[in-house]
Amino acid sequence: MSARVQACVGLGANLGDAVAAVQGALQALDALPDTRVISASRLYRTPAWGKTDQPAFVNAAALLETTLDARTLLDQMLQIERDWGRDRAGDGSDRWGARTLDLDLLLYGDAAIDEPGLRVPHPHLHERAFALVPMVEIAPDIVIPGHGRASDIVAAMVTGEIHAL
């Protein structure tokens, strides 16, 4: 039996019924084999990041407990995205564009992984208030390897445009 690991997943959507997509993705994550959602943040309305001429996002974070390895967990997350109509191949040219659902593996225990298609901790996590604010809500003492406590990082950010729904 594999060891249980806590992983943090960022969820976001800004096309279609974004609230339903994020809520549905939380249920789908909880239904994954050998995985359970142990905590989920409130939903937040956040301004678009990177490419700002698009609708605001609905974002959330979930803390999972899983025995799945990081690659298998990521593959399952990508399948959930596809189930909600996301085609990553189709939006590759528009990296920060609008999407029906976006699931990011933010942290996988205290692992540092740098493989093709899988980088943990998420390489821009420490720069993104839309991911950190919900994450700190459910795990205020969580540490981002190489950057420190997430709550300390978010405390130094401008977060005034991020609102709980």
- Read off the pLDDT of residues 14-26 as tens digits, 9 standing for 90 and up: 988 999 999 999 9
Is 4 annotated in the active site?
A: no
The residue that leads in pLDDT, 152 or 52, is 152
Angle at 86 between CA 42 and CA 30, to 5 degrees: 45
Q: Which domain does 35 fall in, by range?
A: 5-164
Query: First CA to last CA across the chain, in angstroms?
Result: 39
Catalytic residue among 82, 83, 86, 119: 86
Is 99 annotated in the active site?
A: yes
Is 119 annotated in the active site?
A: no
Catalytic residue among 91, 102, 128, 141: 102
Q: Which of 53-62, 91-100, 135-144 has the lowest mean pLDDT?
A: 91-100
CB burial string 18-34: b at 16+ within 10 A, e below = beebbbbbbebbeebee
Residues 30-88 pLDDT 10s = 999 999 999 999 999 998 877 777 889 999 999 999 999 999 999 999 999 989 887 66
What's the whole-model pTM score? Answer: 0.90
Is pLDDT of 94 > 60?
no
pLDDT-based confidence at residue 90 (cuts at 50, 70, 90): low
Is pLDDT of 97 > 70?
no
| CATH code of the domain in which 159 resides | 3.30.70.560
pLDDT at position 92, please? 46
Catalytic residue among 99, 110, 119, 128: 99
Catalytic residue among 104, 141, 149, 152: 104
Question: Greatest CA span in the chain, whole angstroms?
Answer: 47
5, β-bridge pairs: 66
Mean pLDDT of the chain: 89
Is pLDDT of 93 > 60?
no
Structurally, how many domains does the chain consist of? 1
